[in-house]
């Protein structure tokens, strides 16, 4: 029979390994690959977009903070338009489980996108939460930027003022636009990690 100490060590090791498996991807390291299907039925593999800058945006259309940056200000659609115009790919990802707040059907997503002039490349569903957990996405919105080499270069908030007031957007630093300006200038991203704010991602468990 194994000793109590060895059992305790084994249990502790399992916990550590479990936590490591859920750890956030590190900026400066390769972005975790994934394959998801968009609301139009098209499959997208991150690896297929190597050679392009890719933005991942965790989204929940019914989250008040997401609404601050869409319905109430147009900030995220404007940011999407600006970076997509530079040749980037932008994926909005909803990791809410089926029936969760903001788990829109395809036609609802299309209507919401048109209403808000959304300019993302595709809206992807991650109802199992597998991809969201792989990226340790905890809030909507949370943004990740992946450079053409497949390296994660930014992770965090859309901007520097964590409030629900759209009036604060004009005073805030838009971290995504700032990161793109650095990349365009051939410089390292000056602020590569920030603290995301918003609603909790509606994972199944």
Per DSSP, the three-state class of 48 is helix
The Cα 195–Cα 17 span in angstroms is: 25
Residue 104's pLDDT is 97
Strand partners of residue 143: 57, 156
Query: What torsion do the CA atoms of 197, 180, 154, 150 make, to the nearest 10 degrees?
Result: 140
Are 73 and 159 in contact by the 8 Å Cβ rule? The answer is no
- What domains lie within the chain, and their CATH numbers? 24-200 (3.40.30.10)
Asked if residue 14 has pLDDT above 60, the reply is no
pLDDT digits (tens, 9 = 90+) for 58-94: 999 999 999 999 999 999 999 999 999 999 999 999 9
The DSSP secondary structure of 97-157, one letter per residue, reads: PTTSTT---HHHHHHHHHHTT---SEEEE-TT-HHHHHTT--EESEEEEE-TTSBEEEEE-
In tens, the pLDDT along 136-157 reads: 999 999 999 999 999 999 999 9
């Amino acid at each position: 029979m194994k000793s109590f100490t060895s059992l305790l060590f084994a249990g502790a090791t399992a916990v550590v390994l479990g936590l490591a498996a859920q750890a956030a991807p590190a900026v400066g390291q390769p972005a975790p690959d994934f394959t998801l299907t968009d609301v139009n039925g098209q499959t997208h593999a991150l690896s297929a977009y190597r050679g392009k800058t890719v933005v991942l945006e965790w989204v929940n259309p019914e989250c008040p903070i997401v609404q601050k940056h869409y319905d109430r200000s147009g900030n995220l659609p404007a940011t999407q338009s600006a970076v997509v115009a530079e040749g980037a790919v932008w994926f909005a990802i909803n990791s809410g489980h089926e029936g969760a707040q903001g788990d829109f059907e395809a036609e609802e997503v299309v209507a919401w996108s048109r209403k808000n002039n959304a300019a993302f490349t595709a809206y992807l569903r991650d109802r199992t939460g597998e991809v969201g957990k792989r990226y340790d996405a905890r809030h909507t919105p949370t943004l990740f930027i992946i450079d053409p080499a497949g390296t994660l270069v930014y992770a965090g908030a859309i901007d520097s003022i964590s409030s629900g007031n759209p009036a604060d957007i004009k005073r805030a630093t838009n971290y995504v636009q700032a990161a793109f300006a650095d990349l365009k200038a051939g410089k390292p991203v000056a602020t590569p990690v920030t603290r995301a704010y918003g609603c909790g991602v509606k994972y199944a468990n």
